[in-house]
Structure 1
Amino acid sequence: MNENEKDLQRIKELRLMDDDFFSEALDGKIEAVEYILNTVLERDDIKVKSTKAQVEYKSATKRSIILDIQAEDTDGKLMDIEIQRSDRGTGVKRARFHSSMIDRSLLCKGDEFEDLVDTYVIFITENDKFGMGIPLYHVERRITEMEYALFADGAHIIYVNGEYRNMEHPVGCLMYDFPCKDAKDILNPLLAEEVRYLKETEGGRSQMCKLLEEMRNEAAAEGNYEKAVSTALKMLARGRDSMEEIAELTGLSLEEVQDLADK
């Protein structure tokens, strides 16, 4: 079986509960994202102005994040939807970090703090994160000395229980669709349409094969980079080579070698 045949087999197994497939399926798909947001936020009036997949929040010196889907509604509120299959990726401090990284991008120099828009970090987890068997877990800051009144800072974190299957509840219907591998099994027509395109049309399968190829190349590049860093560290520890020689031999930039030396 050649690589292309392997990719086509992999595509058959993908679900909306797989983050890369989720991002590819919903990139720019306003109606489908509106449906998910209205379901999770238990509303029917959210209008999405724009939505984009794989939005990166960079930090020059600290850790960066990449959002699976980011949406902005017509009121300017920002909503980040993350798919988390592994329990390791559902940590509460990860949610805090995501929320803070979004916040730091919202104000320019001279802007008022009150201009901060509301933000929503939504984790759709394959397992029931908190084990209560309920569809949604809402995380809000509260003031202890005021009978736990809401702090109302506009930062909202929501965990969606991916195991929830009560079909009389909108979240149960939504979560029924996420593990489906075949579009014909998906209840919501908007989600079914996007899954069908990527899995059952020539254009969609070609798009997914390209994505899988890019992921393989990124993984290879990451592996090569880790090897280069390891070699540079050994050369620095040996103390015989100049920064320029280490950069030339490892393929790292002079700045990267200097950063390793500083650390």
Structure 2
Amino acid sequence: MAALGKEWNEIGISNDFLFGKVMRDPELCRELLEVILNVPIERVEYPEEQKTIDIAQDARSVRLDVYVADGNNTVYDIEMQTVQEEGLPKRSRYYQGMIDLALIEKGEPYTKLNKSYVIFICTFDAFGKGESVYTFENMCKEVEGLSLGDETHKIFLNAKGASKNVSPSLRAFLEYVAGNKSEDPFVKKLDEAVVKAKKNEKWRREYMTLLMRDRENVEKGRAEGRAEGRTEGYISSIRLCRKFHMTKEATLEELKHDFSLNDAEAMKVLEKYWNDESK
């Protein structure tokens, strides 16, 4: 596996850690939302990088990459997604529900729920139809054009999309997510922020610490040899491989090497934990 420092130097905006740091700039975040939604946004308030929502002690918590609100009672969750998962649509549903629960206190009227957007910026085509943008709202099947009016929106962007019905700015942004720079003003500003962020020694140490912790969990799983310890090690190893955007085949080899598994054993582990949401 490549050295951690080198990986920090090579990561780009599609890395969720770096994306969250760059989006701490409210002006950049505001411009990104304008590019995605193609509507003017006056300002964004209280950007919360990697916001965690815990509703109950025994419930699964939600960690959001970028969670912001604007001045018009609308909230936005923006997620950077580099791994294609079968359960991604249902994850968007779960995020939406948890955001709603966090927006109102017990006993408050539902009318206080904010208009909300859950946005996934994907480096792949989540639905395989070739579109650059997939927008979902709740509509009536029987009456054409009748909206439920719950003011929830789920948007999936596809960095590899080929559709032409998107703005030049959004096209340039998606190409930048895919690794291609351009002369687009927003992309240039975003790239400058990425370069600046990668010079931040505190963030570099934080990133490396997270990766080192994952590696320590892998080693812990190997050393303990207990079922629980090995499970933690399996999950941590797969998580680390996915952070480095390694393929399933490369991850399989890592599992075989780290845990002395044969082909069948490693494949069984990979299939069981590859899409584990705890990662």
Give the TM-score band, short-chain normalised. 0.7 to 0.9
**Residue 126 of structure 1, aligned match among 123, 127, 137:** 123
Does residue 36 (structure 1) correspond to residue 32 (structure 2)? The answer is: yes
Deviations 1:155-195 (A, max 9, x none): 11000111136696222111122233889999623312221
Q: For residue 9 of structure 1, give the secondary structure of its aligned residue in structure 2.
A: helix
Give, as a single letter, the amino acid of the residue that structure 2 aligns with 1:176. Answer: E
Match of 1:83 among 80, 84, 87: 80
d(CA) in 1 for partners of 2:154, 2:226:
36
Quick one: which amino acid aligns to residue 31 of structure 1? E
Do the aligned partners of residues 90 and 47 (structure 1) sit closer, same or farther apart at CA in structure 2, a change above 3 Å counting? farther
* Identical pairs, percent: 22
Cα distance, 1:147 vs structure 2: 2.4
Aligned residue in 2 for 1:14: 11
Query: Alignment RMSD, CA only?
Result: 3.1
Residue pair 1:123, 1:160 contacting (<8 A) in 2 also? yes
Task: Deviation per CA, 1:208-235: give whole Å up to 9, x if none.
Answer: 1332213322553587599698469xxx
Q: Distance in 1 between matches of 2:63 and 2:76?
A: 13
Q: Hey, what's the Cα distance between the residues in 2 that align with 1:61 and 1:222?
A: 25
In the alignment, residue 81 of structure 1 is paired with which amino acid?
A: I
Q: How does 1:6-155 map to 2 (within 5 A)?
A: 6-26=3-23, 28-58=24-54, 59-88=56-85, 91-155=88-152
Sort the Cα spacing of 1:231 and 1:6 in 2 relative to 1 into closer, same or farther, 3 A.
closer
Q: Please list the CA deviations of residues 205-262 of structure 1 after superposition, one character each: whole Å capped at 9, or x if unmatched.
A: 4421332213322553587599698469xxxxxxxxxxxxxxxxxxxxxxxxxxxxxx
Moved more, 213-222 or 114-123: 213-222
SS in 2 for 1:105: helix
* CA distance in 1 between partners of 2:225 and 2:184 (Å): 46
Letter in 2 for 1:55: K
Larger Rg: 1
With over 3 angstroms needed to count, the CA separation of the structure-2 counterparts of 1:216 and 1:160, relative to structure 1, is same
1:160 and 2:157 aligned: yes
Give 1:169's aligned residue. Answer: 168
Task: State how far apart, in whole Å, the 2-side matches of 1:168 and 1:142 are.
Answer: 25
Structure 2: gaps of 5 or more residues = 230-279
Q: Does structure 2 retain, via aligned residues, the 8 Å contact 1:14–1:181?
A: no
* Preserved CA contact (<8 Å) 1:19 1:82: yes
Question: Structure 1 CA distance, aligned partners of 2:202 and 2:48?
Answer: 20
Amino acid aligned to 1:16: I
Distance 1:147 1:181, change over 3 A: closer
Equivalences, count: 225
